[in-house]
Structure 1
Amino acid sequence: MAEGFDLIVFDWDGTLLDSAAAIVHAIQASCRDLDLPAPSDERARYVIGLGLGEALRHAVPELRESDYPRLIERYRHHFLARDHELRLFEGVPQLIAELAGRGRMLGVATGKSRVGLDRALAHTGLGMHFLATRCADECFSKPHPAMLEQLMDELGADPARTLMVGDTTHDLQMARNAGVAGLGVGFGAHPAAALEAERPLACVHTPRDMARWLLERA
């Protein structure tokens, strides 16, 4: 194996969980509930990874500030209606267990809420493998480096020995802002070309490629 990393931090939606399409649907459906023009798939996918309030303000910038709580409520209604249908990408449970078994410290940095992430970790059974996690409702949202900085501080990891794995430019920009390496995941929310423009160590294009890259190089 190559030099490797002590700490590997994963984004959740679109990186470990196949949820990007469900998030886009929930954003568009919540807009229709409020008789608003639904954003395009591309615009809705772009905001994945941001904290929910920030994401909806980017996706629907014309809405009055006082109406965002209602939009957030409708988003949560639509997303939770399909939440139980979402599945981890193929091979993810085995990958996470293998990395943990090799002694890698594992973390999560996500735009989900704490309640949402805890529910997802319990539902998927992966919670036991992650030593520390950070969510958008308890930290600055991506691409601010705070999530990674707090995780590294909590786990005693050096930036030079930390890797961020994510499917959005927000993830890779956060990694750069925190001074850590990034691995782009091209099968999630943002197109591979956009991820490659952020100059990650590599950009993988399937869940199997992600597992192979991490097991060989991380």
Structure 2
Amino acid sequence: MQGYDLIIWDWNGTLLDDLWLALDVANRMLEHRGLPTMDQDRYREIFDFPVSEYYRRAGFDFDREPFESLADEFIAGYNARLRECRLHARVPRLLEAFEREGTAQSVLSASRQESLIDALAHYELTGYFGSIAGLADHFAVSKIDAGHRLLARSRPQHPVLVGDTVHDFEVADALGVDCILVGCGHHPMNRLRATGARVYESLDDLPLPM
């Protein structure tokens, strides 16, 4: 991680351990509709961006219910229990270490901006980040435009994006920045390795600054 002047962290699945909650809320929705539920392996294989494609793969029928209504239901169930989630174990130590080193840090998330700000405040992380970039809604289409705006504000020389999904790699590629992926979130290691990015099993393996 040495040599970077800005670390752009993804939020869900990367810093926040919310895989179990996303799966549980989705399974409750599927069960309510009489549809087959998913185990964690199935979820991680089909989860994707835009999330509307993941909803289709999970079995939801947009001819019966529009994606927007399903997304509203999911986010209501997710937000109601968000504070049951914990940060991944090494997060405070990592953020403190990079702050102490003088490396700038930001968050780039597919979460709605207001929800992201509230969540970071709840977990007492706001002060670590010079920029917090979410989306205007909770439909999680893409983070690329938000990433461009973040870079325009920050103007780093050598940034890196740290995330947990193939979309994080796609975002980094579109932004022209380096990418590191961690297998502790919403995509399995085989999907992450297929991108060709540098991949670690978890944040525990991410090198701390000297």
Give the Cα–Cα distance (whole angstroms) in 1 for the partners of residues 111 and 25 of structure 2: 14
Please name the residue that 1:209 is paired with: 205
* Cα RMSD, aligned residues only: 2.7
Match of 1:190?
A: 187
* CA gap 1:164/1:87 in 2 versus in 1, 3 angstroms: same
TM-score, scaled to structure 1: 0.82
Mean CA deviation greater in 42-51 or 121-130: 42-51
Q: In structure 1, list runs of 5 or more residues that go unmatched.
A: none
Task: Report the CA distance shift for 1:31/1:140 in structure 2 as closer, same or farther (over 3 A).
Answer: closer
The offset of 1:121, in angstroms, is 0.3
The aligned residue for residue 88 of structure 1 is 87
Tell me, yes or no, if structure 1 residue 163 matches structure 2 residue 168: no
Following TM superposition, where does structure 1 have runs of at least 4 consecutive aligned residues deviating by more than 6 angstroms?
Answer: none
Aligned length: 209
Deviation of the 1:206 alpha carbon: 2.5
Aligned residues of 1:163 and 1:180 also touching (Cα < 8 A): yes
> 2:162, 2:180 within 8 Å by CA — same for their partners in 1?
yes
Q: Secondary structure at the match of 1:106?
A: strand
What residue in structure 1 maps to residue 115 of structure 2? 116
AA at the equivalent of 2:160: L
The structure in which a higher percent of residues are strand is 2
Structure 1 CA distance for aligned equivalents of residues 163 and 12 of structure 2:
9
Distance in 1 of aligned mates of 2:167 and 2:12: 13
Contact 2:165–2:187 at 8 Å: present in 1 too?
yes
* Amino-acid identity (%): 27
Give distance in 2, aligned partners of 1:8 and 1:47: 28
1:111-131 Cα offsets, whole Å, 9 max, x none, are 211132112101110011111
Q: 1:112 to 1:156 in 2, by over 3 A?
A: same
* Alpha-carbon distance, 1:62 to partner: 2.9
Unaligned runs of 5+ in 2: none
Alignment of 1:22-171 (within 5 A): 22-38=21-37, 41-46=40-45, 50=49, 56=55, 59-60=58-59, 62-64=61-63, 67-137=66-136, 141-142=141-142, 145-158=144-157, 161-171=158-168
